[in-house]
Amino acid sequence: MTNEAIIEKTRAFVEQKFSGEGSGHDYWHMYRVWQLARRIAQSETAADPFVVELAALLHEFTDTKFVDDGGRAGEQEIITWLESNDVSNTTISQVLVGIKNTSFSSSIGAGSGAQELQNIAAQIVSDADKLDALGAIGIARTFAYGGNKHRQMYDPARPPEQYADAAAYHQSDSPSINHFYEKLLLLKDRMFTETGKKIAQARHEYMEQFLAEFYDEWDGKR
């Protein structure tokens, strides 16, 4: 089976598993991360496109927001899927490295700035995943996730929080607007690739414009 055929089968597998998920981490999120990762990989000549695309498509399987076993079951599901499609053990290992510790929450409590990711595939997937939390899509996903978790849209009396670790971050019921300050506006300074940085800057500026408009409308100024 060709690499292209394996990627297409994996895309269909992910679509079947995650379609209809309502928190903003659905199939279309993974599709967009896949497309962004492909775009970034074009400028990163050291990256293996096959590894990058598989990791981008499968990156949510181990997300600790949705599993309480540290992602082990999801990792095994990835291994089983790729082995069933005759992907080599070497490539499977590279895909798992490309997914591991790429999320924003994995860097909480580890100091400021981007977490250390030496693997180029992991850097690309991390950038692509963070980019999908920015801009117009990021704004839409923030409120989709907040609604899914029954969070307030905004509470002027409740300031943004700082989290000691990923567990505290995931357990928070902070209002959706606070999420911009607790995560989204921090992301542009946590990008790895030059392509990711350029896209992030534009999306960051769009979110700042949205917040300015939001507060003006909230206070009845517009």
Mean pLDDT of 33-43: 96
Are 177 and 151 spatial neighbours (Cβ–Cβ below 8 Å)? no
At 37, which amino acid appears? A
Does the pLDDT value for residue 82 go beyond 90? yes
SS3 131: helix
CA gap 69, 92 in Å, rounded: 20
- The predicted pLDDT at position 101 comes to 72
- The predicted pLDDT at position 111 comes to 45
Does the pLDDT value for residue 208 go beyond 70? yes
For residue 8, give every residue at least 6 positions away whose Cβ sits within 8 Å of its Cβ, in sequence order, or none.
none
Does the pLDDT value for residue 178 go beyond 70? yes
Packing angle of the helix pair 89-99, 49-58 (nearest 10 deg)? 60
Query: For the domain that residue 62 is a member of, what is the CATH number?
Result: 1.10.3210.50
- The predicted pLDDT at position 68 comes to 64
Q: Where are the beta strands (DSSP E) in 109-209?
A: none
CA gap 196, 198 in Å, rounded: 6
113: left (phi over 0), alpha (psi -120 to 50) or beta: left
How do residues 151-162 score in pLDDT, each as one tens digit? 999 999 999 988
Distances (CA, A) of 177 to 58, 60, 150, 192: 29, 24, 13, 26
Give me the domain span that covers residue 124. Answer: 3-218
Alpha helix (H) ranges present in the chain? 3-18, 27-41, 49-58, 72-84, 89-99, 120-131, 135-148, 166-171, 176-182, 194-218
Closest by Cα among 126, 130, 133 to 97: 126
CA gap 6, 11 in Å, rounded: 9
> pLDDT category, 137, cuts 50, 70, 90?
very high
Q: Where are the beta strands (DSSP E) in 14-58?
A: none
Q: How many residues does the chain have?
A: 222
- The predicted pLDDT at position 30 comes to 95
CA angle 56–38–127, rounded 5-degree value:
60
CA gap 122, 59 in Å, rounded: 10
Whole-number average pLDDT of the chain: 89
Mean pLDDT of 133-138: 97
Q: How many domains does the chain divide into?
A: 1
